[in-house]
Structure 1
Amino acid sequence: MSKSKTTVTIDDELLEQARELNINISSAAEQGVKAEVRSLVEERLKKLYKEAAEELDQFVEKHGLFSDGMRLF
């Protein structure tokens, strides 16, 4: 996986604390961005799936199920 350089702005006190704790800033930032991306993608998918389920419900309500004429119960 290739990596790109970027510039970020971090609160001075937070940066100092991270350095005192020997936190790898690049790795921590990458993990934070990765978690945020995962969360937003999940949120978008949930919305998309909800909309699709609602459309399917409306279709079934209007047209019934494909198997309606085949059920024996």
Structure 2
Amino acid sequence: MKEDRVVTLLRKIRITRGKTQQEVANYCNISQSCYSRYELGIRKVKDYSVAERISEFLGTSVSKILPYMADYEKHLTEDDT
């Protein structure tokens, strides 16, 4: 999946859920400008705990909104078994 599609998906899910960037940012304990950079593709989410919080707030999985983190998510799941 191309990066621009990831960005579009992240924004689309947020808007579909009726949430603002500020609401997502507040839930994740990050600034609105930081979250905006994620949506614009200027910055990648590097902290998995932030990725988890974003996906939790938006009611989806980390691998769906941030597929580049799927390997990390899989690794965490394997460690639980």
Normalising by structure 1, report the TM-score.
0.30
**Structure whose alpha-carbon radius of gyration is higher:** 1
Q: When you count helix as a share of all residues, which structure comes out higher?
A: 2
Higher relative contact order (CA 8 A, sep 6+): 2
